Chain A
Amino acid sequence: MRFVSSANIHQKGFNVSLTDWFGTLFSRKLKVTAVAPPPAVPPKLPGAADEIREAILRGECPQGLTFKNISLAGVKTPFILPSGLRCFGLDLSNSAVSAIPADISVEFKLNLSGCTVLKELPSGLRTGSLVLNGCTSLSALPEGLAVSFLNLDGCANLAHWPESAVVEIGSLRARGCTALPGLPQSLKNLTNLDLAGCRKISSLPDGLRLSGWLDLADTAIVSLPPSLQNVRLRWRGVEINPQIAFFPETLSTAIILDEPNAEVRRVMLERRGLETFFKDATATILDQDTDAGGPRKLLKIPLPGDEDLVCVSLNCPSTGRHYLVRVPPGIKTCHAAVAWTAGFDNPNDYRPLVET
């Protein structure tokens, strides 16, 4: 963790540029593929997006409508999208939409985030970016799906991915798709692949290539196909090496303690197992109590020819993850240890009001 500086803040500008690039990419490479051809004479359009929205909600929107961006985000009353709708971006996030017309055409981005009553999508759906995170009623992807970016985070009931449904060029996120048994062999080229929490997935398609990274935290993957041998690996966002991912039993106490990055060390400990780590290191418990994250311990590991290694072992109140932070060897209590990590040399000065 580091303080933010002016240089860091300027990274936000970079993100804006990426967004511009993203739009450019799709305007060049992903032309509209309409199931139904556009009408020869487009219907007269209302003057503003708000009027379009209201017309759709009243069920009075003309068929074959063409518009740039339409938002029905957060609409909780049931509504039906007009047939032949064509637009650049369509935001239906957190709405009560239950069906998507078969002849819809969304060029850039279709956002269905949090549409918990949506059970299926139309066959042949094509768009640039498809956001389906939190669509908990969705059990299958449609035949013939073609997208470049796909977000399936939290689609806990998604269990079927047909071979004809393809993601290409961009990223695929599928965090927490706990019912998904695997990915189709038709996946060939992606930037990033995030499968954290996909417990049923034990293998990846042979021939799949990633130009970015693969996040395989809490999957059943124990090896990679030849096409992914050199891919960068992540564990819930933390970059790790193949030893941590596939050979955690070889992570010795010395290797773990020598790791300078706290997040990487946390993953190492998680992979190795705290109990095993301290068992191997024959740690003694100097103190134990409870804080907002649960039980915590102050542990000492004697190091031959060196000062004792004293660590406080605690859990994050928000994520429940274990953390191990080294403190000066003279510290005797958990509270004093955590106070010291916050910069308080006098433990009585440390009284956290809120911890998350």
Chain B
Amino acid sequence: MKPSCYRQGDVFLIPVPVLPPMNARHLRGSVLAEGEVTGHTHRFRQTNEVEVFSWEERLYVEVLSEFAELVHQEHDTIGVPRGGYEVRIQREYTPKGIQRVVD
């Protein structure tokens, strides 16, 4: 049984036991995803409470504080506890293949 996950709209945070290696690409800021049409963002309120990584075409975030607030212009805020997470964006099926939900 895998641990529970957090969901804010079409963004999921899945706890991971191990974070990417040190040579993973660190991304500036605390934005996890942004809407292409709306411009709305899923981001952590305090940039210094998280570190965001990109590794093998996947996105990860490490929460450094006890809780970090994941905020969005329309969705309710989620307090995410300390730890490492894989960031997933909701996917959908098409006959031509699987794609990320586009908004």
Interface contact B93-A351, CB-CB below 8 Å:
no
Output the residue of A4, A263, A307, A316 with the most chain B CB within 10 A: A4
Q: How extensive is the interface on chain B, given as a class? A: 35 or more
For residues 60 through 86 of chain B, which have their beta carbon under 8 Å from a beta carbon of chain A?
Answer: 74-78
Total interface residues in chain A, CB < 8 Å: 41
Q: Which chain A residues (289-344) contact chain B, with CB distance < 8 Å?
A: 306-307, 316-319, 325-328, 340-343
Q: How far is the CB of A271 from chain B (nearest CB, A)?
A: 16
Contact at B4–A352, with CB atoms within 8 Å? Answer: yes
A262 at the interface (CB under 8 A from B): yes
- Is residue A348 within 8 Å, beta carbon to beta carbon, of the partner chain? yes
Residues of A near B9 (CB, < 8 A) are 1, 316, 318, 356
- A349 closest partner in B (C-beta): B2
The 6 lowest CB-CB distance pairs between A and B, nearest first, are A353-B4, A356-B76, A263-B103, A4-B31, A318-B75, A237-B38
Our pick among A264, A307, A342 for the contact of B95 (Cβ within 8 Å) is A307
A residues touching B (Cβ–Cβ < 8 Å)? 1-6, 8-9, 12, 237-239, 260-264, 266, 306-307, 316-319, 325-328, 340-343, 348-356
A354 adjacent to B90 (CB under 8 Å)? no
The answer to whether B33 and A4 have CB atoms under 8 Å apart is yes
Contacts of A4 in B (CB 8 A): 27, 29, 31-34, 41, 52
Q: How far is the CA of A317 from the CA of B72 in the complex (A)?
A: 13
Q: Using a CB–CB distance below 8 Å, which chain B residues touch chain A? A: 1-12, 14, 27-29, 31-41, 52, 54, 59, 74-78, 87-95, 100-103
4 further A-B contacts with Cβ under 8 Å, apart from A4-B52, A6-B28, are A4-B29, A8-B34, A326-B93, A349-B1
Partner of B6, one of A1, A316, A318, A354: A354
Name B28's closest neighbour in chain A (CB-CB). Answer: A9
A318 near B76 with CB under 8 A, answer: yes
A-B contact pairs, 11 of them (CB 8 A): A1-B103, A2-B102, A3-B59, A4-B27, A12-B29, A340-B93, A341-B90, A342-B7, A343-B12, A349-B2, A356-B78
Measured CA separation A238–B39 after assembly (Å)? 9
Partner of A352, one of B6, B31, B88: B6
Taken together as a complex, chains A and B put the C-alpha atoms of A262 and B91 apart, in Å, by 11
Contacts of A318 in B (CB 8 A): 9, 74-76
**B28:A262 contact, CB within 8 angstroms:** no
Q: CB within 8 A of B34: which of A2, A237, A340, A355?
A: A2
A343-B88 in contact (CB<8A): yes
If A6-B27, A326-B92, A341-B90 touch, whether A1 touches B7 (CB-CB below 8 Å) is no
Complex contact A1–B100 (CB within 8 A): yes
Contact check, A341 vs B91: say whether CB atoms are below 8 A apart.
yes
List residues of chain B with CB within 8 A of the CB of A341. 90-92, 101
Chain A residues with CB under 8 A of B8? 355-356
Contact A325/B92 with A2-B34, A319-B75 known, Cβ cut-off 8 Å: yes
**Do A237 and B77 touch (CB < 8 A)?**
no
Q: Choose among B37, B41, B91 the residue with the greatest number of A CB atoms under 10 Å from its CB.
A: B37
On whether the beta carbons of A9 and B31 are closer than 8 Å, the reply is yes
A312 to chain B minimum Cβ distance, whole angstroms, is 10
Which residues of A lie under 8 Å from residue B95 when comparing CB positions? 306-307
What is the distance, in angstroms, from A259's C-beta to the closest C-beta of chain B?
10
Closest chain A residue to B9, Cβ basis: A316
Residues of A within 8 Å of B29, CB to CB, are 4, 9, 12
Tell me the smallest distance from the CB of B100 to a CB of chain A, in Å: 7
